[in-house]
Amino acid sequence: MSDPPLEDFLRQAEGWLAARYLAAGDGGQRRFTWGEGDDEVRVFQEPDPVAEADALPAIRRWRRELWDHGYGWIDGPAACGGAGLPAAYARAFERLTRRYRVPGDAALTVSLGMIAPAILRHGSPGQRRHWLPLLYSGQQIACQLFSEPGAGSDLAAVSTRATRDGDAWRITGQKVWTSGAHLADIGEIICRTSGGPRHHNLTAFLVDMRAPGVTVRPLRQMTGGASFNEVFLDDVAVADACRLDEEGRGWQVALTTLSFERNAMGHSAFGGAGILSTARLIGLVHAAAKQADPVTRQEFGELISHLRVARYTQEVQAAQARAGDAPGLEVALNKIALSENMKRLAGFAAGVLGPALIADTGAWGTYAWTSVLLGAPGYRLGGGTDEILKNTIAQRVLGLPRAT
């Protein structure tokens, strides 16, 4: 039976949403008014653990409702419980949800944006039928257990070991920079399973985050908060059925997962786009009474030009994707641009606020900007450092020989 026309699909979806959630009012963008509400401008969300735990049930219910009414995985294959509709329907639905006060999927960026697509690509039919409905219905949340203290940019150098034990495996090692590990039910983990040659000695597993031997600790970052966790695994048992793809193909599974990460990171909504809004920046300048200062206006014009160009680039890429000419790896350049824009934001705030940026006078929306200043260095590291991304661009987009 062919797909319903997009307009009908959207009309029906809007009816469904309107029956359950309040309209977000003005075109879905929460109107920004200087001085109102929380003045937080974080690069990485640092949800207070209690508030985060409180919000989780509502997010799980939101996913479950979507799943039960066919909106949980709009462009997923029917065989695994998806609605089997074209990706354009899923994107249109996602834009539609922004016009309603829905819990949203921010907390599930990794689970649905990186791990679920990796399971779809590398899982057996049984694994796909088992895990994907659990993830897209919100019954289970997945996290990414990749980086290690000794394996950052060089992910292939992971030392966490998985040793065969009958028809199960025992995993021992340490993973770092995992976001949401404390809320996750399962973790996609890359382990060393043989002494074999580089890139061929790794295997991926889906490990139960609540299994005995798994310890999750918040990883305090320079901002003062903790957006990520450290995960210690001490002889953790994992059934062979939870092995994702063949033994020795862990590197391919990792690359697939990372490619989804880069696409997500480039998107301007990622990384607290709220901090990039023009209205907030205008409010900042007015609060410091510098709107008439020609030097401030030049620095404002320069900053806005960079923020807008980043948005124009993403919109052109989205249009090209819709026209079937989706951009390739060069999307990673968006992430680098976003990191640079965060540095520019911090510099601009310092120029406008001066000392009021670096010590809290209590004035709304001033000292809060230190979060951008303290978060920006992390953004240049997470999801691939500038240098690693530029290597990839040079070699796989520009066809230059391997840079050593």
Partner 1 sequence: MTIRDRLALTDDERMLQATLREFLTARLPSAELRSALDSDAGYSMTLHARLISELGVGGLTIPEDFGGLGLSQAEACVVHAELGRALYPGPFLPGCLAAAALLAAGDLAACQEWLPRLADGSATGTVAPAGENGSWQAGRAPVQAEKAPGGWRLHGRSWFVLSGQAADIIIVPAAAASAPGMFLVESGAPGLAVTPMTGLDLTRRAAALAFDAVPARLLGRGGDAAGVLEQVERHFLLATAAEASGGISWCLDLGVGYARDREQFGRPIGSFQAVAHQCADMLADLQSAAAAARYAAVASAAGSEDAALAARVAALRGGESYRRVAEAAIHLLGGVGFTWEHDAHLYYRRAWSAQQLAGGPQAHRAAIADLAGL
Q: Which residues contact 194 (CB under 8 A, 6 or more apart)?
A: 200, 201, 247, 248
Q: Is 319 in the site for partner 1 (CB under 8 A)?
A: yes
What are phi and psi for residue 236, nearest 5 degrees?
Answer: -85, 130
First to last CA, the chain: 53
Q: Of 50 and 292, which has the nearer Cβ to a copy of itself?
A: 292
Per CB under 8 A, the list member of 25, 77, 86, 149 interacting with partner 1 is 149
Does position 200 interact with partner 1 (CB under 8 A)? The reply is: no
Which x/- pattern, by CB under 8 A, does the window 385-404 give for a copy of itself?
-------------------x
Does 293 engage in binding with a copy of itself (CB under 8 A)?
yes
According to CB under 8 A, which residues from 285 to 314 bind partner 1? 285, 288, 291, 294-295, 297-298, 300-302, 304-306, 308-310, 312-313
Query: What are the distances in angstroms from CA 111 to CA 105, 184, 251, 350, 395?
Result: 10, 9, 19, 36, 29
Phi, psi of 188 (to 5 degrees): -80, 115
* 294 binds a copy of itself per the rule CB under 8 A: yes
Q: Which residues, 297 to 316, sit near a copy of itself by CB under 8 A?
A: 298
Interatomic CA distance for residues 330 and 336, integer angstroms: 10
User: Hey, how many other C-beta atoms are within 10 angstroms of the C-beta on 376?
Assistant: 22
In whole angstroms, how close is the CB of 314 to a copy of itself at the nearest point? 29
CB of 38 to a copy of itself, least distance (A): 34
What is the contact mask toward partner 1 in residues 215 to 254, using x (rule: CB under 8 A)? ----xxxx-x------------------------------
Count of chain residues binding partner 1 (CB under 8 A): 84
Alpha-carbon dihedral angle through residues 159, 164, 169, 171, given to the nearest 10 degrees: -20
Find the binder of partner 1 among 367, 368, 383, 384 (CB under 8 A). Answer: 367
Cα distance between residue 265 and residue 261, in whole Å: 6
Task: State the nearest-atom distance from the C-beta of 46 to partner 1, in Å.
Answer: 12
From the list 33-41, 63-71, 206-214, 390-398, the region that binds partner 1 by CB under 8 A is 390-398
Task: Tell me: does residue 333 bind partner 1 (CB under 8 A).
Answer: yes
292 binds a copy of itself (CB under 8 A): no
Contact partner at residue 124 from partner 1, a copy of itself, none, CB < 5 to 8 Å by partner kind: none
Nearest approach in angstroms of CB 293 to a copy of itself is 7
Please tell me whether residue 173 binds partner 1 under the rule CB under 8 A: no
Q: Are strands 168-178 and 202-208 parallel, antiparallel or unpaired?
A: unpaired
Q: Are 62 and 138 in contact (CB under 8 A)?
A: yes
8 A C-beta contact, residue 144 and residue 116: no
44/37 Cα distance (integer angstroms):
19
Residue 398 exposed, middle or buried by CB count within 10 Å (0-12, 13-18, 19+): exposed
The closest of 306, 331, 304, 301 to 316, measured between CA atoms, is 331
Among 295, 323, 359, 398, binds a copy of itself (CB under 8 A): 295
Give yes or no for residue 361 binding a copy of itself (CB under 8 A).
no
Q: Pick out residues in 110-129 that bind partner 1 (CB under 8 A).
A: none
Instruction: Return the number of the residue (134 or 381) whose C-beta is nearest partner 1.
Output: 381
Tell me how far apart the alpha carbons of residues 280 and 95 are, in angstroms, rounded to a whole number: 23
* CB-CB contact of 111 with 73 (8 Å): no
The residues binding a copy of itself (CB under 8 A) are: 293-295, 298, 404
